[in-house]
Structure 1
């Protein structure tokens, strides 16, 4: 069974690249401007949108319709643009010329209700959350061991596995094992969900990197 996906770009070369999704089970349709989203607003389909079509605050263009699952793809990706995409309503932010097999993987993840961002942007968002939001009570940690609590706090501050290992004097493999246990005990599936839980923010969180 093929799955519908709207490919939104005025760049012919980029459209040809995305059209490779046909080979991995997708049925692409083509749009060239933001207004082309309107007819799809109630269909619940996925959209891959050229980042150059992202509306700006002062642009007189129609807003992104609610309910669409839009993955914004940029030829020159950067964290500020990625954050702007998420604010605009996107559920993913990727490199426009990533391999089609990778784009297929991203689309299938967001079909499951998740959000996809890259490692750099995820780390930056974790760091910003850690700096801006104070840790509330310790209820989130009640099922964790003392070591798992330490690891969870480092993850919530945006530290990498190797950085956590160096700080705690353990191996990176041990850190990964702790993070897997933390995910299971806390009912989260990625690092940003963990950070939001630690800082008392209960909402769906972007996905981007492994444990």
Structure 2
């Protein structure tokens, strides 16, 4: 079990990071069409504008902050209830269509790497983390299980959820440990973590189907 994380003096702030699965490659066809290849499966991307081309290219190298490609793609890691997740850029429909090839990571601006990453296991399933309100207590789903992985990062999966979550840093593993008992979002904010970081980790876990109302 991961040790209790060190309490940060300031909240580093969270960042929504996007990448393609490691096994996915990006190719250009003879007619200029982009093709994402995952083993024997291909996904064409037609009429891609320069911004989308650059977004996909950078995503092949690992988690990227999309606003570094184009400021118009800036959005928070967690959307507020009732608010749209993204803007009107043509990049979003393509990324949503390719969600089964995309990895959604929760990062911080402290340059220590992502806290956790969410992988979609089924085609056509959208990962949409929403800000949680201080309502009913939550706990870890009884269908969720934590296991080790070859690279050493724990993996959280639920037999009922179309996602799996890789926990990269102690902050994320500690949050899962706390959810072993029913807690309210307000309780999570009292964890030995920066408050906004704790809240966003919980929102990602909830959106991935790893929690349930207690």
Give the TM interval when normalised to the shorter protein: under 0.3
TM-score for the superposition, normalised by structure 2: 0.27
More relative contact order, 1 or 2 (CA 8 Å, 6+ apart): 2
The structure where helix makes up a greater share of residues is 1
The structure where strand makes up a greater share of residues is 2
* Structure with max Cα Rg: 1
